[in-house]
Structure 1
Amino acid sequence: MKERRRPERGRPNVIEIVVRVPADKADAVKAYAGRISRRRSPALRDEVISRLRSRPDIMDRFGVKALFLFGSVVREEAKPTSDIDLMVDFFPGRPGGLFAYVELKHALEGLLGRPVDLITSGNIKPRLKKRILEECMLVYGEGDARR
């Protein structure tokens, strides 16, 4: 990979990176580069909720019992660079390991077109737990984050 420290005109925080990839992966790399280089508007709460609710097949495939939205998107304080904070509860015995959990995270990122911070109710940092549980919005399934 070659990195050229020549800023683009009018874009001082952008550098050019040249990479070599297998020919069959070139289109995917170009598409990814195009997605991350576009200027984005902040994620909108209603749009995020609508997209998540539009794909129950993803939730079913990974054994999602309930999915909650929290953070800057719920508070309508998201910036173009903000990730989307989600808390998931699974049916017993699911998601079937770390790889399935990571695969769900990637599926949600693909659906939403943004980075996702995916947590479970069991792994909330104690210092953040009260705030997170107070602002959680149920977007899929059944459950109460404050149980």
Structure 2
Amino acid sequence: MTRDEVLAKLRELKPWLAAQGVGRVRLFGSHARDEARPDSDVDLIVELTKPMGLDFFRIEDELGQKLGARVEMSTEEALRNRIVRRNALADAIDA
């Protein structure tokens, strides 16, 4: 999947994501750089609009099913390593 295909699908899924408690979604990593391989996961930084506990992982799994690719979601706060966070945010594209 290309960067534009992933972004288009994420934009289509915004109402579903909002209903799940996910606000802003940013794509980063190989898909954001348009360097993804067929086996690449879709890396997302998300902002949550409500506490979700273990539902976070259910949403991540369901989103992966909807996109047809493995999804790795993280909040900006969860990207604890400063270098990783800086690199992720440098690549990040709003969906």
Same fold (TM over 0.5): yes
Question: Which amino acid counterpart does residue 73 of structure 1 have in structure 2?
Answer: H
Deviations 1:42-66 (A, max 9, x none): x210110111111223212211120
State how many pairs are aligned: 94
> Is residue 54 from structure 1 mapped to residue 9 from structure 2 by the alignment?
no
TM-score for both structures, normalised by structure 2: 0.91
> Is residue 116 from structure 1 mapped to residue 79 from structure 2 by the alignment?
no
Any residues of structure 2 matched to 1:17-96 within 5 Å, and which? 43-91=1-49, 94-96=50-52
CA distance in 1, matches of 2:20, 2:51: 5
- Secondary structure of the residue that 2:43 maps to in structure 1? strand
CA distance in 2, matches of 1:116, 1:70: 11
CA distance in 1, matches of 2:51, 2:2: 28
CA distance in 2, matches of 1:135, 1:119: 14
- Secondary structure of the residue that 1:121 maps to in structure 2? coil
CA distance in 2, matches of 1:134, 1:128: 10
> Is residue 104 from structure 1 mapped to residue 59 from structure 2 by the alignment?
yes
Structure 1: give runs of 5+ residues left out of the alignment: 1-42, 140-147
CA distance in 2, matches of 1:103, 1:124: 20
- Secondary structure of the residue that 2:40 maps to in structure 1? coil
Segments ≥4 residues shifted beyond 4 Å: none
TM-score for both structures, normalised by structure 1: 0.60
Structure 2: give runs of 5+ residues left out of the alignment: none
- Secondary structure of the residue that 2:36 maps to in structure 1? coil
Percent of aligned pairs with the same residue?
32
RMSD, matched Cα: 1.2
Deviation at residue 108 of structure 1 after TM alignment: 1.0
CA distance in 1, matches of 2:19, 2:48: 11
Question: Which amino acid counterpart does residue 77 of structure 2 have in structure 1?
Answer: G
Question: Which amino acid counterpart does residue 136 of structure 1 have in structure 2?
Answer: A
RCO comparison, higher one (Cα < 8 Å, 6+): 2
